[in-house]
A and B are shown apart, each in its own frame.
Chain A
Amino acid sequence: MRNDKKSVKLITKLLRQTSSLSIVSEFLKVKGLPHSAPSWDVMENNRLIPAIKSKKITIQDLTVLLRNVEEYGHQHVFLYRYTKPDIDTLIGRERVNSIMSECGLTHLLATPKVLDQPQSPEISDIRWECVSSEKTQQFIIKIIETRETSELLSEASKGDILTKKWRIKKERAVNLFKLRADGVLELRITSQSNSSQYKTKVNQIWELVADFLPKNNFTEISLSKAKDLLMRDRNLLQDKIRFSDTTLKNDAGNTIKAATGSPASSLNEDDGINSSMEAFISHDAYCDSHNIWFKLSSNSDQDKPREIHVLLSGEGNEFAITAHCSSQEYEYVYDQLRNFNK
């Protein structure tokens, strides 16, 4: 039980960072267990630990819950396509098991490793997931890393010397490769707090899985068609999508950027903005980026309608879901973007 208690404490700590009390409460409620908790301490001590003790739930159940909440959203996603015909061999158990054995990772086959802040980026989970609707499998590798950022604490000047004091802040980041049966690979990288540039990070993370997923066999999927469709059909899509900013460019390198003043308003509401973008587009401009919100209907009359914020900017194959979301919400956004990009 001592080990179980330690595991619960670690998983609760990670759930605190990536989820909400209501999600954990719902998880317990579905299992028919006492689920209300006004604080994380109460949730841990009065709900989760007794449930484990009485064997109503297992550490494995909590690990799966953590997996579901930490793998979706607050991420920049990079899309690639596998260019070879042998995807079944690539993600086949025989090949993957052999590489895991060579890399000393066979222990992950039984159960994923729950990591808080490892010294260096570490593979914590390798698994296959069945997609029952398609009768196919998808292959997933998860990597946990610890990132360091600095926070200015104070600054003092004496004469012509300025001294600044910084605190190093450590943050846990969850990165994930998901290769779907149709050959599309998502590389999801937890949002960086201090930079919007991800190219170096993509290369660093990919190095860790190069044995499993050789980068040369993948090509980037440009999202330019989706960006152009969003621009072209923005009026048709206004019940589905709210537009916060849009950047248009032409081949002379000239740029028009339209952005709402109010965080809550939509570019669609402004006829002047729409006309100016139309005029630029009619002179061979193209859409370089969008900042949009997918509108989701609420489950009940009491719930507020929810919006999922999505950036379509940065690298050509990049989109971002900036806040944590459920797996269903993630899949909805992913499917929409793939459809727009056809």
Chain B
Amino acid sequence: MSTINSETLINNFPEDRDTVQRLLAIFDDSQERTRLKEFTLKRLFDRTLPRSEIALAQILNYLVSTGSLKRIVRVESPNLGGVEDFSSLMEVPEVIHDWRRDIEMCVTPEDINIIYKVISDFGDGAR
């Protein structure tokens, strides 16, 4: 597991220094408190208070490109809970078996959530 260098990240996004620090703190904290380490874009936006969604998305894209985060396209059941994970939107089929209800479901944009999963060690980010 690699460790994210917070300085490198801040140097790449100098205008978003505070957002980067808050983001790294969240990822670091998540590793200490839970094994799940998955975040929706909305949740990260609420907690990092970025200047804009685009600014946050650029940081997350960078972390995905370096292999520190994994982006998951998750189809969710209207009954709650994930049904299947995909690595891109292109892979999502029009119809999927919702095993949580044992029924075929037509996938709509409302059923899709983008999830960021922590892969690397963010240990130095919060300190």
Q: Could you tell me if A245 and B102 are in contact, using CB atoms closer than 8 angstroms? A: no
Closest beta carbon of chain A to B87's beta carbon, Å: 14
Q: Could you tell me if A244 and B102 are in contact, using CB atoms closer than 8 angstroms? A: no
A228-265 interface (Cβ within 8 A of B): 244-245, 257, 259-263, 265
Q: Could you tell me if B38 and A245 are in contact, using CB atoms closer than 8 angstroms? A: no
Which residue of B is nearest A151, CB measured? B95
Cβ-based interface call for A97 (8 A):
no
A263-300 interface (Cβ within 8 A of B): 263, 265, 269-270, 291
B57-85 interface (Cβ within 8 A of A): 74, 77, 79-85
Which residue of A is nearest B35, CB measured? A269
CA separation between A195 and B79, bound complex, in Å?
14
Q: Could you tell me if A244 and B35 are in contact, using CB atoms closer than 8 angstroms? A: no
Interface size class of A (residues with CB under 8 A): 20 to 34
Closest beta carbon of chain A to B85's beta carbon, Å: 6
Collect the chain A residues with CB atoms within 8 Å of residue B79's CB: 245, 259
Q: Could you tell me if A263 and B35 are in contact, using CB atoms closer than 8 angstroms? A: no
With A257-B80, A269-B36 known as contacts, the answer to whether A263 contacts B102 (CB < 8 A) is no
Number of residue pairs spanning A and B whose beta carbons lie under 8 angstroms apart: 56
Closest beta carbon of chain A to B68's beta carbon, Å: 19
Q: Could you tell me if B82 and A263 are in contact, using CB atoms closer than 8 angstroms? A: yes
Collect the chain B residues with CB atoms within 8 Å of residue A193's CB: 103-104
With A257-B80, A269-B35, A269-B36 known as contacts, the answer to whether A262 contacts B85 (CB < 8 A) is yes
Q: Could you tell me if A261 and B102 are in contact, using CB atoms closer than 8 angstroms? A: no
With A257-B80, A259-B80, A261-B36 known as contacts, the answer to whether A192 contacts B85 (CB < 8 A) is no
Collect the chain B residues with CB atoms within 8 Å of residue A259's CB: 77, 79-81, 100
Q: Could you tell me if A261 and B104 are in contact, using CB atoms closer than 8 angstroms? A: no
Instruction: Identify which of A191, A260, A262, A269 contacts B102 (C-beta below 8 A).
Output: A191
Instruction: Identify which of B36, B85, B104 contacts A194 (C-beta below 8 A).
Output: B104
CA separation between A325 and B97, bound complex, in Å?
17
Question: Which among A193, A261, A265 has the highest number of chain B CB atoms within 10 Å?
Answer: A261
> Number of residues in B with C-beta < 8 Å to the partner?
22
Collect the chain B residues with CB atoms within 8 Å of residue A191's CB: 102
Collect the chain A residues with CB atoms within 8 Å of residue B85's CB: 262-263
Collect the chain B residues with CB atoms within 8 Å of residue A196's CB: 101-103
With A193-B104, A269-B36 known as contacts, the answer to whether A309 contacts B81 (CB < 8 A) is no
Collect the chain B residues with CB atoms within 8 Å of residue A265's CB: 36
Q: 1/0 per position for A160-204, CB-CB distance to B under 8 A?
A: 000000000000000000000000000000011111100000000
Q: Could you tell me if B81 and A244 are in contact, using CB atoms closer than 8 angstroms? A: yes
Which residue of A is nearest B34, CB measured? A270
Q: Could you tell me if A322 and B115 are in contact, using CB atoms closer than 8 angstroms? A: no
CA separation between A219 and B102, bound complex, in Å?
25
Cβ-based interface call for A320 (8 A):
yes
Collect the chain A residues with CB atoms within 8 Å of residue B97's CB: 322
Closest beta carbon of chain B to A103's beta carbon, Å: 32
With A261-B36, A261-B38, A262-B36 known as contacts, the answer to whether A322 contacts B81 (CB < 8 A) is no
Q: Could you tell me if B80 and A245 are in contact, using CB atoms closer than 8 angstroms? A: yes
Cβ-based interface call for A311 (8 A):
yes
Closest beta carbon of chain A to B104's beta carbon, Å: 4
Closest beta carbon of chain A to B28's beta carbon, Å: 19
Cβ contacts A to B, 5 pairs, < 8 Å: A193-B104, A194-B103, A262-B38, A263-B81, A265-B36
Binding site for B on A (CB under 8 A): 76, 152, 191-196, 244-245, 257, 259-263, 265, 269-270, 291, 309, 311, 320, 322
In the A-B complex, the 5 residue pairs with the smallest Cβ-Cβ separation, listed nearest first, are A259-B81, A259-B80, A193-B104, A263-B82, A322-B102
